[in-house]
Amino acid sequence: MCGRLTQYRGIHDFVAVLSIPDALINHVGEAPLERYNAAPTTELAVLHQHEQSLHADNLRWGWRPHWAKDRAAPINARVEKVANGAFFRSIWRQRLIVPVDNWFEWVDVGEKIRQPWLIRRADRNPVFCAAIGQLPMLGAVQREDVGFVIITADSMGGMLDIHDRRPVVFDAERTLEWLDPATPPERAEQMLLFEGAPSDAFEWYKVGKAVGNTRNQGAHLIEKLA
């Protein structure tokens, strides 16, 4: 997963798919998010459960523990190591969902030539990416301590021709289970390893190279290349 996402729906459009009866505690606003080309280190809307309520907050994409200040903050965590490795131990139980519309990958097609592709759910539903992170309300005391990482797995199946890693994506039912603090860590790890959406749940197509510049925004970035 190269590290470029879209979040252009409104947060309530994402949450509506989850059919949650209780009100959302919304700190990201009511308007469409309109992030057509979101890059690492930028703030994205995330969902998390706190004190038995679903919250939506903006959180920086990328996180590292306080003892790793000498290295760049990772934006992704490999599913094979996230539950048991030392690097993410302090946030492993702080489960989040990053709701996105699509993500982008790049494929080498020649010397110094890369073709961007857009990947989305074939049913056009939101892409609920499993993530872990640190929010201020969950113990972070300094701004540089907050952030999140998206959990990635092998791109088994047809997506291998686009990229060898992809986000672990849950359906609505598993999204709620992942967010529930009562879900045991062992169960959460099992979900990551075995219950993410399969490759055939997605479709992908080529898009224009303008998406390569993070300053570019707008709906034209997600249009299929003729």
Q: Which residues are catalytic?
A: 2, 105
Distance CA 50, CA 58 (A): 15
Distance CA 66, CA 204 (A): 38
Distance CA 47, CA 155 (A): 24
State which amino acid sits at residue 215: R
**Which residues share a beta bridge with 95?**
132
Distance CA 36, CA 101 (A): 9
Would you give the distance in Å from CA 154 to the centre of its chain? 15
Residue with tokens 């020649």: 110
Q: Which two tokens stand for residue 166?
A: 């992809």
Distance CA 103, CA 80 (A): 21
